[in-house]
């Protein structure tokens, strides 16, 4: 089933603008995100055709089946709670039956952890992109040889440098694993013997071990730092997958403002924490933010990572203090909301 099917078959219950346009943080470059709620046809709901969520390929249009929507409401999921609290000018369609679900019956002290927890993941994401933004990786990944070292007394030298200094080719080398040691090999060299080389291909996953004839004398001992090599391969793969999928406009914005974090993620961190504080303190949720300029300044990289982090920590401290004073329930009344869901389904299927 597709989003078009939902609309063609009149299964849509709610549809709204979401993301930056709902928050009042949109700019001329902003995408248009949509979210919505639908219900399954009766035979699909009772049978094997239940689909809890439907989205488009880019995931900027996401629709939730009413049962899944209510389940997440009871858990105070930030994205779902914000859908229910959508500003009037962002609501594109609302079935009358949706009036039975109100934001007042949903908000609870759980929001401290759900909104706050989501904000913490945004902080980690923002700093986690530092390495990718500030330290781009070359297209060609390093090879095994870059992680091999030749022991020399109490020290070591890079294998590539050692081979060059001794005018040797890695392809003519043979390795024999040293017993009772990890990643340590005796290295042999003889152009007349068909050794396998230190690595048998450019993107090998491990060093090659050769059969060493009796009487051959080792030239040196080689250590292969396999853990570092594996980490490099993983980071290289992740980096170039990120390059392929990244939003170039957002990447260039982060690169140009010169800060070592993803400023858009940090803007949403502050937004989420401010919303959480308002919920806990005032028992209300304002999706459209009154401090547009302040939040867009964060998005533009107007603050250092340390300054934004300090702002986030101060908000979290305030949230903790207000939670102790809050008159909100500890969590929504799940039984009451579930009863409303059952009634909604009964009414929908009756018609």
Instruction: State pLDDT tens for residues 91-127.
Output: 999 999 999 999 999 999 999 999 988 777 777 666 5
CA R_g for the chain: 29
Structure tokens belonging to residue 75: 């858990």
Tokens at 275, concatenated: 């919303």
Contact 337, 73 (CB under 8 A): yes
Reported as a single tens digit per residue, the pLDDT across 158-205 is 999 999 999 999 999 999 999 999 999 999 999 899 999 999 988 889
At residue 238, the pLDDT reads 83
> What pLDDT, on a 0 to 100 scale, did the predictor assign at position 256?
55
- 287-306 b/e (C-beta count within 10 Å ≥ 16 → b): bbbeeeebbbebbebebebe
Q: What is the SS3 assignment for 320?
A: helix
Fold of 1-102+332-351: Beta Polymerase; domain 2 (3.30.460)
Q: pLDDT value at position 305? A: 81
DSSP state of 144: G
pLDDT for residue 166: 95
* Residue 259 banded pLDDT, cuts 50, 70, 90: low
Residue 141 DSSP one-character state: P
Weakest mean pLDDT among 19-23, 38-42, 131-135, 300-304:
131-135
Q: What contacts 292, CB < 8 A, 6 or more positions away?
A: 24, 25
* pLDDT one-digit tens code per residue, 146-166: 999 999 988 999 999 999 999
Of 52, 68, 61, the closest CA to residue 16 belongs to 61
Q: Give the model's pLDDT for residue 167.
A: 95
Q: How many CB atoms lie within 10 A of CB 198?
A: 27
Domain with CATH 3.30.460 in the chain: 1-102+332-351
> Is this prediction's pTM over 0.75?
no
């Amino acid at each position: 089933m597709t989003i078009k099917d939902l609309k063609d078959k009149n299964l849509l219950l709610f549809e709204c603008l979401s993301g930056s346009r709902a928050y009042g943080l949109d700019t001329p470059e902003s995408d248009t995100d949509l979210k919505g709620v639908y219900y399954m046809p009766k035979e699909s709901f009772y049978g094997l055709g239940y689909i809890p969520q439907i989205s488009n390929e880019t995931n900027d249009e996401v629709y939730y089946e009413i049962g899944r929507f209510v389940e997440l409401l009871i858990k105070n999921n930030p994205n779902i709670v914000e859908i229910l609290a959508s500003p009037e000018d962002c609501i594109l369609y609302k079935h009358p039956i949706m009036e039975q679900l109100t934001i007042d019956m949903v908000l609870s002290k759980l929001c401290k952890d759900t909104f706050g927890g989501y904000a913490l993941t945004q902080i980690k994401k923002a700093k986690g992109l530092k390495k990718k933004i500030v330290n781009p990786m070359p297209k060609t990944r390093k090879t095994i040889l870059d992680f091999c070292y030749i022991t020399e007394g109490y020290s070591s030298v890079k294998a590539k440098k050692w081979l060059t200094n001794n005018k040797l080719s890695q392809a003519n080398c043979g390795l024999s694993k040293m017993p009772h040691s990890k990643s340590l090999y005796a290295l042999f060299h003889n152009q007349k013997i068909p050794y396998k080389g230190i690595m048998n291909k450019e993107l090998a996953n491990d060093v090659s071990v050769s059969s060493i004839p009796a009487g051959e004398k080792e030239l040196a001992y080689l250590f292969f730092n396999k853990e570092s090599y594996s980490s490099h391969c993983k980071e290289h793969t992740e980096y170039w997958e990120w390059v392929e999928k990244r939003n170039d406009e957002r990447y260039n914005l982060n690169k140009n403002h010169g800060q070592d974090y993803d400023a858009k993620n940090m803007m949403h961190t502050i937004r989420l924490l401010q919303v959480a504080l308002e919920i806990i303190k005032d028992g209300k949720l304002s999706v459209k933010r009154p401090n547009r300029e302040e939040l867009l300044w964060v998005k533009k990289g107007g603050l250092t990572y340390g300054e934004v982090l300090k702002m986030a920590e101060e908000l979290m401290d305030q949230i903790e203090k207000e939670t102790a004073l809050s008159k909100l329930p500890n969590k929504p009344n799940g039984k009451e909301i579930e009863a409303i869901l059952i009634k909604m389904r009964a009414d929908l299927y009756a018609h």
